Protein backbone atom coordinates (compact mmCIF):
# COMPACT_ATOMS: atom_id res chain seq x y z
CA UNK A 1 0.00 0.00 0.00
CA UNK A 2 1.19 3.48 -0.73
CA UNK A 3 -1.46 6.06 0.21
CA UNK A 4 -3.94 6.87 2.94
CA UNK A 5 -6.73 9.31 2.09
CA UNK A 6 -8.20 11.03 5.14
CA UNK A 7 -11.54 12.80 4.82
CA UNK A 8 -13.17 14.51 7.78
CA UNK A 9 -16.86 13.52 7.98
CA UNK A 10 -19.32 16.44 7.60
CA UNK A 11 -16.43 18.60 8.76
CA UNK A 12 -18.22 21.87 9.52
CA UNK A 13 -21.08 20.04 11.26
CA UNK A 14 -18.63 17.92 13.23
CA UNK A 15 -16.72 21.03 14.38
CA UNK A 16 -19.97 22.41 15.80
CA UNK A 17 -20.90 19.12 17.43
CA UNK A 18 -17.50 18.89 19.11
CA UNK A 19 -18.47 21.80 21.37
CA UNK A 20 -22.25 21.22 21.33
CA UNK A 21 -22.85 17.52 22.15
CA UNK A 22 -26.64 18.06 22.22
CA UNK A 23 -26.52 18.31 18.41
CA UNK A 24 -25.52 14.65 18.08
CA UNK A 25 -27.77 12.55 15.80
CA UNK A 26 -29.87 15.56 14.77
CA UNK A 27 -30.48 16.91 11.24
CA UNK A 28 -28.14 19.90 11.01
CA UNK A 29 -27.08 22.27 8.25
CA UNK A 30 -24.17 24.66 8.60
CA UNK A 31 -25.12 27.58 6.36
CA UNK A 32 -23.70 30.84 5.06
CA UNK A 33 -26.44 32.66 6.97
CA UNK A 34 -30.02 32.33 8.18
CA UNK A 35 -31.80 34.00 5.27
CA UNK A 36 -33.50 31.89 2.61
CA UNK A 37 -30.97 33.04 -0.01
CA UNK A 38 -28.19 31.50 2.09
CA UNK A 39 -26.58 28.22 1.05
CA UNK A 40 -25.95 24.97 2.91
CA UNK A 41 -22.18 24.62 3.40
CA UNK A 42 -22.30 21.25 5.18
CA UNK A 43 -25.12 18.85 6.07
CA UNK A 44 -25.11 16.14 8.72
CA UNK A 45 -25.76 12.57 7.61
CA UNK A 46 -29.14 12.76 9.35
CA UNK A 47 -30.04 15.80 7.21
CA UNK A 48 -28.85 14.01 4.07
CA UNK A 49 -31.52 11.33 4.57
CA UNK A 50 -34.05 14.06 3.71
CA UNK A 51 -32.18 14.96 0.50
CA UNK A 52 -30.35 17.96 1.95
CA UNK A 53 -26.94 18.49 0.37
CA UNK A 54 -24.03 20.96 0.39
CA UNK A 55 -24.55 23.81 -2.08
CA UNK A 56 -28.35 23.65 -1.73
CA UNK A 57 -30.24 26.94 -1.12
CA UNK A 58 -31.41 27.14 2.47
CA UNK A 59 -35.06 27.71 1.49
CA UNK A 60 -35.03 24.40 -0.41
CA UNK A 61 -33.36 22.57 2.51
CA UNK A 62 -36.05 23.91 4.86
CA UNK A 63 -38.79 22.81 2.48
CA UNK A 64 -37.39 19.26 2.59
CA UNK A 65 -37.24 19.26 6.39
CA UNK A 66 -38.86 22.24 8.20
CA UNK A 67 -37.32 21.35 11.59
CA UNK A 68 -33.77 21.45 10.21
CA UNK A 69 -31.32 22.92 12.74
CA UNK A 70 -29.41 25.72 10.99
CA UNK A 71 -26.07 27.04 12.26
CA UNK A 72 -24.28 30.01 10.71
CA UNK A 73 -20.86 29.01 9.40
CA UNK A 74 -17.78 30.16 11.30
CA UNK A 75 -15.23 29.52 8.57
CA UNK A 76 -12.34 31.14 10.44
CA UNK A 77 -12.82 28.54 13.19
CA UNK A 78 -13.03 25.64 10.74
CA UNK A 79 -9.93 26.81 8.85
CA UNK A 80 -7.97 27.05 12.10
CA UNK A 81 -9.04 23.55 13.19
CA UNK A 82 -8.17 22.25 9.72
CA UNK A 83 -4.66 23.64 9.93
CA UNK A 84 -4.15 21.95 13.31
CA UNK A 85 -5.37 18.61 11.94
CA UNK A 86 -3.19 18.81 8.83
CA UNK A 87 -0.12 19.66 10.89
CA UNK A 88 -0.95 16.81 13.29
CA UNK A 89 -0.83 14.38 10.35
CA UNK A 90 2.91 15.06 10.07
CA UNK A 91 3.27 13.06 13.29
CA UNK A 92 2.40 9.98 11.24
CA UNK A 93 4.14 10.72 7.92
CA UNK A 94 6.52 13.42 6.71
CA UNK A 95 4.81 13.26 3.31
CA UNK A 96 1.40 14.90 3.71
CA UNK A 97 -0.46 16.44 0.79
CA UNK A 98 -3.35 18.68 1.82
CA UNK A 99 -5.98 18.80 -0.92
CA UNK A 100 -8.81 20.73 0.77
CA UNK A 101 -9.91 22.09 4.13
CA UNK A 102 -11.00 18.59 5.22
CA UNK A 103 -8.98 16.15 3.07
CA UNK A 104 -5.37 15.01 2.85
CA UNK A 105 -3.19 12.20 1.51
CA UNK A 106 -0.40 10.50 3.44
CA UNK A 107 2.35 8.70 1.54
CA UNK A 108 3.02 5.51 3.53
CA UNK A 109 5.04 3.63 0.90
CA UNK A 110 8.06 3.22 3.20
CA UNK A 111 6.05 2.15 6.30
CA UNK A 112 6.50 -1.36 7.69
CA UNK A 113 3.45 -1.00 9.94
CA UNK A 114 0.19 -2.67 8.91
CA UNK A 115 -1.73 0.11 7.03
CA UNK A 116 -4.98 -0.76 8.81
CA UNK A 117 -3.33 -0.41 12.23
CA UNK A 118 -1.80 2.91 11.16
CA UNK A 119 -5.21 4.15 9.97
CA UNK A 120 -6.77 3.16 13.31
CA UNK A 121 -4.04 5.05 15.19
CA UNK A 122 -4.66 8.17 13.11
CA UNK A 123 -8.44 7.98 13.56
CA UNK A 124 -8.11 7.47 17.32
CA UNK A 125 -5.68 10.39 17.59
CA UNK A 126 -8.01 12.74 15.68
CA UNK A 127 -10.98 11.58 17.73
CA UNK A 128 -9.16 12.02 21.03
CA UNK A 129 -7.52 15.37 20.28
CA UNK A 130 -10.23 17.09 18.21
CA UNK A 131 -13.38 15.08 19.05
CA UNK A 132 -14.01 14.72 15.32
CA UNK A 133 -14.84 11.70 13.15
CA UNK A 134 -12.80 10.87 10.05
CA UNK A 135 -12.91 8.24 7.33
CA UNK A 136 -9.72 6.74 5.90
CA UNK A 137 -9.21 4.93 2.60
CA UNK A 138 -6.08 2.91 1.80
CA UNK A 139 -4.86 1.98 -1.67
CA UNK A 140 -1.90 1.68 -4.01
CA UNK A 141 -2.65 5.12 -5.52
CA UNK A 142 -4.34 8.34 -4.48
CA UNK A 143 -7.32 7.75 -6.75
CA UNK A 144 -7.92 4.28 -5.23
CA UNK A 145 -7.47 5.56 -1.66
CA UNK A 146 -9.98 8.35 -2.28
CA UNK A 147 -12.49 6.02 -3.96
CA UNK A 148 -12.40 3.46 -1.13
CA UNK A 149 -12.60 6.30 1.42
CA UNK A 150 -15.85 7.48 -0.19
CA UNK A 151 -17.21 3.91 -0.03
CA UNK A 152 -16.28 3.64 3.67
CA UNK A 153 -18.12 6.74 4.94
CA UNK A 154 -19.03 7.72 7.55
CA UNK A 155 -16.39 7.20 10.25
CA UNK A 156 -14.93 4.07 8.68
CA UNK A 157 -11.72 2.56 7.35
CA UNK A 158 -11.45 0.80 4.01
CA UNK A 159 -8.58 -0.82 2.16
CA UNK A 160 -8.18 -2.29 -1.32
CA UNK A 161 -5.21 -4.63 -1.74
CA UNK A 162 -2.98 -3.98 -4.73
CA UNK A 163 -3.95 -7.26 -6.42
CA UNK A 164 -7.66 -6.35 -6.08
CA UNK A 165 -7.34 -2.81 -7.47
CA UNK A 166 -8.52 -3.37 -11.07
CA UNK A 167 -11.45 -5.48 -9.88
CA UNK A 168 -12.47 -2.81 -7.36
CA UNK A 169 -12.30 0.03 -9.91
CA UNK A 170 -14.21 -2.05 -12.47
CA UNK A 171 -17.27 -2.24 -10.21
CA UNK A 172 -17.48 1.50 -9.51
CA UNK A 173 -19.96 3.70 -11.33
CA UNK A 174 -18.20 6.45 -13.31
CA UNK A 175 -19.69 9.03 -10.93
CA UNK A 176 -17.89 7.30 -8.03
CA UNK A 177 -14.46 7.51 -9.67
CA UNK A 178 -12.67 10.49 -8.07
CA UNK A 179 -12.15 13.41 -10.43
CA UNK A 180 -15.14 12.62 -12.65
CA UNK A 181 -17.67 15.37 -11.99
CA UNK A 182 -21.43 15.30 -12.47
CA UNK A 183 -21.40 16.88 -15.94
CA UNK A 184 -18.65 14.57 -17.24
CA UNK A 185 -20.41 11.53 -15.76
CA UNK A 186 -23.60 12.48 -17.63
CA UNK A 187 -21.68 12.71 -20.92
CA UNK A 188 -20.10 9.29 -20.35
CA UNK A 189 -23.37 7.65 -19.27
CA UNK A 190 -25.13 9.10 -22.32
CA UNK A 191 -22.62 7.15 -24.44
CA UNK A 192 -23.14 3.91 -22.42
CA UNK A 193 -19.93 4.30 -20.40
CA UNK A 194 -21.56 3.65 -17.03
CA UNK A 195 -19.05 1.73 -14.91
CA UNK A 196 -15.33 1.55 -14.35
CA UNK A 197 -15.32 -1.58 -16.49
CA UNK A 198 -16.94 0.35 -19.38
CA UNK A 199 -14.27 3.02 -18.96
CA UNK A 200 -11.53 0.39 -19.06
CA UNK A 201 -12.96 -1.08 -22.27
CA UNK A 202 -13.63 2.23 -24.06
CA UNK A 203 -11.11 3.23 -26.71
CA UNK A 204 -8.79 6.12 -25.96
CA UNK A 205 -9.89 7.81 -29.20
CA UNK A 206 -13.55 7.67 -28.14
CA UNK A 207 -12.86 9.08 -24.69
CA UNK A 208 -10.69 11.95 -25.95
CA UNK A 209 -13.37 12.74 -28.55
CA UNK A 210 -16.01 12.96 -25.81
CA UNK A 211 -14.18 14.84 -23.05
CA UNK A 212 -10.75 15.85 -24.36
CA UNK A 213 -7.43 15.08 -22.65
CA UNK A 214 -9.26 14.12 -19.46
CA UNK A 215 -10.42 11.02 -21.31
CA UNK A 216 -6.84 9.71 -21.21
CA UNK A 217 -6.62 10.54 -17.51
CA UNK A 218 -9.87 8.77 -16.66
CA UNK A 219 -8.92 5.63 -18.55
CA UNK A 220 -5.74 5.35 -16.46
CA UNK A 221 -7.69 6.09 -13.30
CA UNK A 222 -10.17 3.32 -14.16
CA UNK A 223 -7.24 0.92 -13.74
CA UNK A 224 -6.31 2.50 -10.39
CA UNK A 225 -3.42 4.62 -11.67
CA UNK A 226 -2.94 8.25 -10.70
CA UNK A 227 -3.29 10.72 -13.58
CA UNK A 228 -4.24 14.34 -14.12
CA UNK A 229 -5.45 15.80 -10.84
CA UNK A 230 -3.89 12.90 -8.95
CA UNK A 231 -0.34 13.04 -10.32
CA UNK A 232 2.22 12.72 -7.56
CA UNK A 233 3.39 15.97 -6.01
CA UNK A 234 6.30 16.33 -3.65
CA UNK A 235 5.28 18.12 -0.43
CA UNK A 236 6.17 21.78 -0.58
CA UNK A 237 8.84 23.10 1.75
CA UNK A 238 7.24 25.75 3.95
CA UNK A 239 9.02 29.00 3.16
CA UNK A 240 6.69 31.28 5.10
CA UNK A 241 3.91 31.12 7.65
CA UNK A 242 1.08 33.55 7.24
CA UNK A 243 -2.59 34.36 7.51
CA UNK A 244 -4.89 36.86 5.88
CA UNK A 245 -8.41 37.94 6.70
CA UNK A 246 -11.13 39.55 4.61
CA UNK A 247 -12.53 42.46 6.61
CA UNK A 248 -16.27 42.41 7.48
CA UNK A 249 -16.55 45.72 5.59
CA UNK A 250 -14.16 47.92 3.59
CA UNK A 251 -12.51 50.55 5.74
CA UNK A 252 -9.86 53.27 5.97
CA UNK A 253 -9.85 52.97 9.77
CA UNK A 254 -6.20 52.37 10.64
CA UNK A 255 -7.02 51.38 14.23
CA UNK A 256 -9.28 48.59 13.00
CA UNK A 257 -6.57 47.43 10.60
CA UNK A 258 -4.08 47.44 13.50
CA UNK A 259 -6.45 45.26 15.53
CA UNK A 260 -6.64 42.79 12.66
CA UNK A 261 -2.86 42.76 12.42
CA UNK A 262 -2.70 41.86 16.10
CA UNK A 263 -5.28 39.12 15.59
CA UNK A 264 -3.29 37.73 12.64
CA UNK A 265 0.03 38.07 14.49
CA UNK A 266 -1.28 35.72 17.19
CA UNK A 267 -2.49 33.22 14.56
CA UNK A 268 0.88 33.31 12.78
CA UNK A 269 2.76 32.88 16.04
CA UNK A 270 0.57 29.98 17.11
CA UNK A 271 1.20 28.13 13.85
CA UNK A 272 4.93 28.89 13.89
CA UNK A 273 5.12 27.61 17.47
CA UNK A 274 3.45 24.32 16.49
CA UNK A 275 5.88 23.94 13.58
CA UNK A 276 8.83 24.78 15.86
CA UNK A 277 9.81 27.71 13.65
CA UNK A 278 10.98 31.29 14.06
CA UNK A 279 11.51 33.84 11.32
CA UNK A 280 13.82 36.64 10.39
CA UNK A 281 11.45 38.50 8.09
CA UNK A 282 7.97 40.04 8.24
CA UNK A 283 5.64 40.86 5.35
CA UNK A 284 2.27 42.60 5.48
CA UNK A 285 -0.31 42.94 2.73
CA UNK A 286 -3.31 45.19 2.19
CA UNK A 287 -5.88 44.68 -0.56
CA UNK A 288 -8.26 47.49 -1.40
CA UNK A 289 -11.82 47.76 -2.67
CA UNK A 290 -10.56 48.34 -6.23
CA UNK A 291 -8.63 45.02 -5.99
CA UNK A 292 -5.22 46.71 -6.00
CA UNK A 293 -2.80 45.67 -3.29
CA UNK A 294 0.27 46.91 -1.43
CA UNK A 295 2.88 44.76 0.32
CA UNK A 296 5.70 45.82 2.61
CA UNK A 297 8.40 43.55 4.00
CA UNK A 298 11.62 43.68 5.97
CA UNK A 299 14.35 41.18 6.84
CA UNK A 300 16.17 41.40 10.17
CA UNK A 301 19.51 40.24 11.58
CA UNK A 302 17.72 38.80 14.63
CA UNK A 303 14.94 36.25 15.01
CA UNK A 304 11.25 37.00 15.52
CA UNK A 305 9.74 34.44 17.85
CA UNK A 306 6.81 35.93 19.81
CA UNK A 307 3.52 37.38 18.67
CA UNK A 308 4.45 40.71 20.30
CA UNK A 309 7.52 40.94 18.06
CA UNK A 310 5.56 39.96 14.98
CA UNK A 311 2.95 42.62 15.72
CA UNK A 312 5.50 45.33 16.59
CA UNK A 313 7.32 44.88 13.27
CA UNK A 314 4.02 44.69 11.38
CA UNK A 315 3.01 48.06 12.82
CA UNK A 316 6.26 49.64 11.60
CA UNK A 317 5.53 48.34 8.11
CA UNK A 318 1.90 49.48 8.26
CA UNK A 319 2.97 53.02 9.13
CA UNK A 320 4.84 53.12 5.82
CA UNK A 321 1.57 52.68 3.91
CA UNK A 322 -0.71 55.61 3.14
CA UNK A 323 -4.26 54.26 3.34
CA UNK A 324 -5.96 56.50 0.79
CA UNK A 325 -8.74 54.09 -0.18
CA UNK A 326 -10.83 51.51 1.67
CA UNK A 327 -9.06 48.26 2.54
CA UNK A 328 -10.84 44.90 2.15
CA UNK A 329 -8.16 42.40 3.24
CA UNK A 330 -5.25 42.36 5.68
CA UNK A 331 -2.47 39.78 5.64
CA UNK A 332 0.75 39.08 7.49
CA UNK A 333 3.50 36.50 6.99
CA UNK A 334 6.64 35.38 8.80
CA UNK A 335 9.41 34.32 6.41
CA UNK A 336 13.11 33.36 6.31
CA UNK A 337 12.24 30.53 8.68
CA UNK A 338 14.70 28.74 10.96
CA UNK A 339 14.25 26.13 13.72
CA UNK A 340 12.90 27.62 16.93
CA UNK A 341 15.50 28.54 19.59
CA UNK A 342 18.47 27.99 17.30
CA UNK A 343 19.36 31.69 17.61
CA UNK A 344 18.53 33.91 20.59
CA UNK A 345 15.79 36.43 19.94
CA UNK A 346 16.27 40.18 20.26
CA UNK A 347 13.63 40.10 23.01
CA UNK A 348 13.51 37.74 25.97
CA UNK A 349 9.87 37.72 27.16
CA UNK A 350 8.32 34.60 25.62
CA UNK A 351 6.17 33.57 28.59
CA UNK A 352 2.98 35.36 27.49
CA UNK A 353 3.10 34.09 23.90
CA UNK A 354 3.74 30.48 24.90
CA UNK A 355 1.10 30.58 27.62
CA UNK A 356 -1.46 31.84 25.09
CA UNK A 357 -0.63 28.94 22.77
CA UNK A 358 -1.07 26.43 25.60
CA UNK A 359 -4.45 27.94 26.50
CA UNK A 360 -5.56 27.87 22.83
CA UNK A 361 -4.55 24.22 22.53
CA UNK A 362 -6.52 23.31 25.65
CA UNK A 363 -9.60 25.56 25.41
CA UNK A 364 -9.82 26.56 21.74
CA UNK A 365 -8.76 29.48 19.57
CA UNK A 366 -9.08 32.93 21.17
CA UNK A 367 -10.27 31.53 24.50
CA UNK A 368 -8.01 34.34 25.73
CA UNK A 369 -6.94 37.32 23.65
CA UNK A 370 -5.84 40.93 23.94
CA UNK A 371 -8.87 43.11 24.69
CA UNK A 372 -8.49 45.08 21.43
CA UNK A 373 -9.22 42.03 19.27
CA UNK A 374 -12.01 40.34 21.22
CA UNK A 375 -14.67 41.84 18.94
CA UNK A 376 -13.01 41.42 15.55
CA UNK A 377 -13.06 37.64 15.12
CA UNK A 378 -16.01 38.00 12.76
CA UNK A 379 -17.63 35.09 11.00
CA UNK A 380 -16.56 35.08 7.40
CA UNK A 381 -18.53 33.89 4.37
CA UNK A 382 -15.59 32.29 2.60
CA UNK A 383 -12.54 30.30 3.63
CA UNK A 384 -9.67 32.66 4.50
CA UNK A 385 -6.83 32.16 2.02
CA UNK A 386 -3.63 30.58 3.30
CA UNK A 387 -0.32 32.29 2.70
CA UNK A 388 2.61 29.89 2.36
Nearest to 220 by CA among 200, 238, 237: 200
255 has catalytic annotation: no
| 58 occurs within a structural domain | yes
In the DSSP assignment, the letter for residue 230 is G
Nearest to 269 by CA among 298, 235, 236, 312: 312
| 235 occurs within a structural domain | no
348 and 311 inside one domain = yes
Of the candidates 16, 83, 97, 103, the residue annotated as catalytic is 103
256 and 361 inside one domain = yes
Average pLDDT of the chain to the nearest whole number: 85
Query: pLDDT for 218-266, tens place per residue?
Result: 999 999 999 877 776 665 677 899 988 877 788 898 988 988 888 888 8
Query: pLDDT for 259-288, tens place per residue?
Result: 888 888 888 888 888 778 899 999 999 999
Residue at a domain's end among 24, 52, 75: 75
| 362 occurs within a structural domain | yes
Cα 335–Cα 341–Cα 343 angle in degrees, nearest 5: 75
Structural domain of 292 = 240-387
pLDDT at 385 over 60: no
The CATH number for 378's domain is 3.30.1490.100
184 and 267 inside one domain = no
224 and 349 inside one domain = no
Q: In what order do the strands lie in the sheet with 134-139?
A: 96-100, 103-107, 3-8, 134-139, 157-159
32 and 91 inside one domain = no
The CATH number for 209's domain is 1.10.150.20
| 325 occurs within a structural domain | yes
257 and 359 inside one domain = yes
169 and 153 inside one domain = no
Number of domains within the chain:
4
194 and 156 inside one domain = no
Query: pLDDT for 345-370, tens place per residue?
Result: 444 444 555 665 565 555 555 455 55
Of residues 294 and 342, which shows the higher confidence score?
Answer: 294
pTM for the model: 0.67
252 and 333 inside one domain = yes
Residue at a domain's end among 25, 42, 75: 75
List alpha helices for 139-292, DSSP H.
142-151, 165-171, 182-190, 196-201, 204-211, 214-222, 254-274
| 383 occurs within a structural domain | yes
Amino acid sequence: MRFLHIDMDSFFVSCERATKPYLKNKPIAVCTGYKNKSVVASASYEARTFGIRSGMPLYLARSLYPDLICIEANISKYASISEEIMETLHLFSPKVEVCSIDEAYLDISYFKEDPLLLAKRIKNHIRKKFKLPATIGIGKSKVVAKAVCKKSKPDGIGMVKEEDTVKFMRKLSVSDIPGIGEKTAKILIKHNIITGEDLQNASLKTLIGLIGIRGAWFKKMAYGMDAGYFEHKEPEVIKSIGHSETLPFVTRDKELIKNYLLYLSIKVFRRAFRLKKMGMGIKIELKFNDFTQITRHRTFSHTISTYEEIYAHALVLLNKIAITKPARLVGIALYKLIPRHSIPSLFSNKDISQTIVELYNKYGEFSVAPLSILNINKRQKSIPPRIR
